[in-house]
Amino acid sequence: MAAVAPTRDGVALVPRHVAVIMDGNGRWARARALPRQAGHKAGIAPVRLMVEQCAQAGVETLTLFAFSSENWRRPPAEIGALMRLFVEALKREVAELHENGIRLRFIGDLDALGPELNTAIGHAEALTRDNRRMDLVLAVAYGGHWDLAGAARRLAEEVEAGSLESADIDESRFADMLATRDLRPVDLLIRSGGERRISNFLLWDIAYSELYFSDVLWPDFSAGDLEAAFAYFAQRQRRFGRTSDQVVGGGAAEEQQ
């Protein structure tokens, strides 16, 4: 982690939580007359690069959208290939991630994944649980709607059980019920592949994120592309509902805590 993180107006210039929608694998493959699976395989290299570069920059949490709730609608062969790719990549990369102080975490409807992937996930989380350099959060079978509905259900269960008064439900209690409960809000959301949409990613957590859209297809996403995203972030004035004058007076810093 950077020893002294650079700030402006009391606000971090390096995003503390970066989230990425890695889009464009299929189009990258089609442009080369390859099967879509080849695009997903080629998408591993920029994941490695992103992890290394974010850790070096002092990012605290990097969350990657690996497979959405809606991706179950894809052809079974593509889903099978993606699941195999996740298992293989996890098994291959986990030791090096551990050596580099990265803590791996997974969010999503993990019960819907096969036993092999769940075993690899359990191993990776257990091995890296005490690492503190950077959290790498993989969103698998994750959807913002899935997360929000789950939080609502858990709150309703507590009310039903008599351990919570409905009048006591506020933003903080709601956030405590999300799969992302331990993560700070997203500072910078990056989407590759040219589309300008959120696609049911971290809906609660991106309320005040800066949004960076790149036309580059994910397998081609480079160190320079990430630097461009960081440069964009560094010149944003983050107001969190306040006025510009208040922010220059130092008011936005507390939102970053």
25 near ligand FPP (CB under 6 A):
yes
Among 11, 14, 15, 40, binds ligand FPP (CB under 6 A): 40
Restricted to residues 42-61, the positions that interact with ligand FPP (CB under 6 A) are 43-44, 47
CA atoms within 13 A on the CB side of 132: 2
Contacts of 122 (CB under 8 A, 6+ apart): none
Instruction: Based on the residue annotation, tell me whether 187 is a catalytic residue of this protein.
Output: no
Q: How far is the CB of 219 from ligand FPP (least distance, A)?
A: 8
241-2-181-191 Cα dihedral, nearest 10 degrees: 70
For every residue of 56-84, which 3-state class applies, written as one string? HHCCCEEEEEEEEHHHHHCCHHHHHHHHH
Q: How far is the CB of 193 from ligand FPP (least distance, A)?
A: 6
For CA atoms 1, 19, 15, 43, the dihedral sign is positive
Q: How far is the CB of 66 from ligand FPP (least distance, A)?
A: 4
Q: How far is the CB of 218 from ligand FPP (least distance, A)?
A: 6
26 near ligand FPP (CB under 6 A):
yes
Q: Of the ranges 21-29, 160-168, 221-229, 232-240, which one interacts with ligand FPP (CB under 6 A)?
A: 21-29
Q: Which is nearer to ligand FPP, 27 or 98 (CB)?
A: 27
Among 14, 86, 105, 214, binds ligand FPP (CB under 6 A): 86
Answer whether 240's CB lies under 8 Å from 208's CB.
yes
Among 64, 83, 127, 228, binds ligand FPP (CB under 6 A): 64
Whole-number Å distance between alpha carbons of 65 and 19: 8
Looking up tokens 């293989």 gives 88
Q: Of the ranges 18-26, 51-59, 169-177, 237-245, which one interacts with ligand FPP (CB under 6 A)?
A: 18-26
Q: Which is nearer to ligand FPP, 201 or 233 (CB)?
A: 201
Q: Which residues of 102-127 are buried (b: 16+ CB within 10 A; e: fewer)?
A: bbbbbbbbeeebeeebeebbeebeee
246 near ligand FPP (CB under 6 A):
no
Q: Which is nearer to ligand FPP, 46 or 151 (CB)?
A: 46
Residues paired with residue 18 on neighbouring β-strands, in sequence order = 62, 188
Among 193, 206, 209, 230, binds ligand FPP (CB under 6 A): 193
Instruction: Based on the residue annotation, tell me whether 182 is a catalytic residue of this protein.
Output: no
The backbone torsions φ and ψ at residue 220, rounded to the nearest 5 degrees and listed phi first, read -95, 0
CA distance readout (Å), 83 to 114, 115, 166: 8, 11, 40
Binding site for ligand FPP (CB under 6 A): 22-27, 40, 43-44, 47, 64, 66-67, 71, 85-86, 89, 138, 193, 218
